[in-house]
């Protein structure tokens, strides 16, 4: 059974979300604060996903997201923001969240996003590969190991979230090809993704910080102005 951590200080919202997720087949851990969430995560089995409200007492949801991501690149993280908090959404994505949802939201949309997120995260490790398909993709000084889900640059490992890893897979399988943002969005987040294409740009910025020698002057993930991005080994 899939496990999700729901962090929300308003009890009525948290209980409603938890009840509906349980009805949809999820095991749910509930926390009214970031501090309690971290306690639960340390005491229990790993979660597949986390739903983090930004506005929390004490440590806020963005700081919690950053803390969780430092220890776990595999967990799927969705941040919950209020309308008009565009800067918070962007910051959340830049520090490790995989997706965001805006209040008020429907439970059916939330369940759909969680299901899509966990499918993406488990897709690479759970699906068997054809015998002739290589487990490592090589591009210039980079090696993408699809078995261990690790990217290497000149032999040195680079920590990536699962979403970042899937973007790199898309680039490696389409070398020197200009990919429109919508194709990246569909290839990584799925064709029925509800969110904004800006999520692609935020993840590209995050990837450049990790793989480029000079992120402000990228040599590998190139911008195709007015269109999207192109991988250059």
Domain at 3-126: CATH architecture: 3-Layer(aba) Sandwich (3.40)
Question: Rounded to two decimals, what is the model's pTM?
Answer: 0.76
Equal fold, 3-126 vs 136-231: no
List the domain boundaries for the chain: 3-126, 136-231
3-state class (DSSP) for residue 53: strand
| Residue-level pLDDT, tens digit, the chain, 233 residues | 899 999 999 999 999 999 999 999 999 999 999 999 999 999 988 899 999 999 999 999 999 999 999 988 889 999 998 866 778 888 888 888 999 888 888 888 898 889 888 877 665 444 444 444 557 899 999 999 988 888 999 999 998 888 899 999 999 999 899 999 999 998 888 777 767 788 899 999 999 999 999 999 999 999 999 999 999 98
Cα distance between residue 190 and residue 87, in whole Å: 24
Cis check for the bond before 104: say yes or no (omega within 30 of 0): yes
Tokens 């986390």 belong to 50
- Structure confidence at residue 161 (pLDDT): 87
Domain 136-231: state its class.
mainly alpha
């Amino acid at each position: 059974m899939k496990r999700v951590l729901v962090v929300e200080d308003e009890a009525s919202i948290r209980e409603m979300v938890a009840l509906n997720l349980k009805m949809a087949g999820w095991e749910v851990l509930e926390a009214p604060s970031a501090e309690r969430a971290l306690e639960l995560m340390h005491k229990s089995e790993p979660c597949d996903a986390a739903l983090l409200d930004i506005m929390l007492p004490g440590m806020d949801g963005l700081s919690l997201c950053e803390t969780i991501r430092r220890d776990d690149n595999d967990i799927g993280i969705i941040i919950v923001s209020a309308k008009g908090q565009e800067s918070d959404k962007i910051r959340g994505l830049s520090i490790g969240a995989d997706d965001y949802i805006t209040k008020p939201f429907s439970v059916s949309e939330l369940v759909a996003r969680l299901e899509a997120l966990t499918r993406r995260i488990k897709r690479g490790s759970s699906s068997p590969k054809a015998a002739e398909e290589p487990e490592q993709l090589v591009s210039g000084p980079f090696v993408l190991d699809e078995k261990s889900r690790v990217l290497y640059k000149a032999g040195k490992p680079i920590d990536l979230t699962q979403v970042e890893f899937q973007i790199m897979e898309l680039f490696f399988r389409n070398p020197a090809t200009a990919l429109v943002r919508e194709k990246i969005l569909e290839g990584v987040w799925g064709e029925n993704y509800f969110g904004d294409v800006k999520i692609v740009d935020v993840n590209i910025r995050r990837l450049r910080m990790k793989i480029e020698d000079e992120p402000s002057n990228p040599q590998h993930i190139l911008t195709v102005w007015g269109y999207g991005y192109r991988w250059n080994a």
